[in-house]
A and B are shown apart, each in its own frame.
Chain A
């Protein structure tokens, strides 16, 4: 791995960790440990997945351990133990229509460079249940393919899509409430 590639992976891993671990130093340590573990175990890299996915897998376990040590729960079965299902179900009526009609988001493109908006989005991401957040961040921050995510989380492809759907619908609802909602000044 050349230095530029190493640095690119490290930066992405740090983003991944920082969105799950509140303590910045702890997140940086976890990434450091991951890079060291990867260097010492490089001969065990199977090549079945991309290097980035492999690194993400190592870091993911370290993050789960860290969250558990901090006393927060990470459900082993991401689907059974988390509250996500009810929340998405609650967004729809019995007949499958929206309980609350989604509103029109004005000028979203402009928000991409608005710091306060991105902070609200970040808070929404941090509000996701831990396992849902991991699946979502593996997809959107680390750019893993869903096949790789399912394998890493040991869930079926269908369940992987369910988790990602939940994550997106929760984030959508969170932004609608906390940024686009009527309550916003």
Chain B
């Protein structure tokens, strides 16, 4: 099974929410290893999760002063 980038991006996202089946993981790895775009997107989606956790929303809202 050869994935398109669109399908690969879907699996890369779902990997953050559920354990992929072995065949899904294999198909995804086979795609990512030959695809520069998806290699970047996979890293970026993981980064996004870290970054969202760092948003200091509880302290302030953009455009307003502190407190």
What is the CA–CA distance of A122 and B40 in the complex, to the nearest angstrom? 22
Q: Tell me the B3-33 residues at the A interface (CB within 8 Å).
A: 3-7, 9-10, 13-14, 16-18
When distances are taken between beta carbons in the complex, the residues of chain A under 8 Å from B48 are 168, 171-172, 175
Select one of B6, B51, B57 contacting A112, CB under 8 A. B51
On whether A96 and B44 interact (CB within 8 A), knowing A118-B55, A165-B10, A165-B13, the answer reads no
When distances are taken between beta carbons in the complex, the residues of chain A under 8 Å from B16 are 164, 168
Contact B4 A102 (CB under 8 A): no
How many chain B residues touch the partner (CB < 8 A)? 35
User: Who on chain A is nearest to B8 by CB?
Assistant: A96
Q: Tell me the A105-130 residues at the B interface (CB within 8 Å).
A: 105, 108-109, 111-113, 115, 117-119, 121-123, 125
Select one of A19, A91, A105, A122 contacting B47, CB under 8 A. A105
Question: Among the listed stretches A10-18, A42-50, A55-63, A78-86, which one makes contact with chain B, having 4 or more residues with CB under 8 Å of it?
Answer: A10-18
What is the CA–CA distance of A18 and B4 in the complex, to the nearest angstrom? 37
Contact B51 A111 (CB under 8 A): yes
Contact A169 B58 (CB under 8 A): no
Contact A105 B40 (CB under 8 A): yes
Looking at chain A's contact residues, the main secondary structure is: helix
Contact A104 B40 (CB under 8 A): yes
Interface residues in chain A, defined as those with a beta carbon under 8 Å from any beta carbon in chain B: 11, 14-15, 18-19, 22, 24, 91-92, 95-98, 101-105, 108-109, 111-113, 115, 117-119, 121-123, 125, 139-141, 146, 160-161, 164-165, 168-169, 171-172, 175
**24 sampled A-B residue pairs with Cβ under 8 A:** A11-B58, A19-B55, A92-B5, A95-B4, A96-B6, A96-B7, A102-B37, A109-B47, A111-B51, A113-B54, A121-B52, A121-B55, A122-B55, A122-B57, A123-B62, A125-B52, A141-B53, A161-B17, A164-B14, A164-B16, A168-B16, A168-B45, A172-B44, A175-B44
Interface residues in chain B, defined as those with a beta carbon under 8 Å from any beta carbon in chain A: 3-7, 9-10, 13-14, 16-18, 36-37, 40-41, 43-45, 47-58, 60-62, 64
Q: Which 4 pairs, one residue from A and one from B, show the smallest C-beta to C-beta distance? A: A96-B4, A165-B13, A92-B6, A96-B6
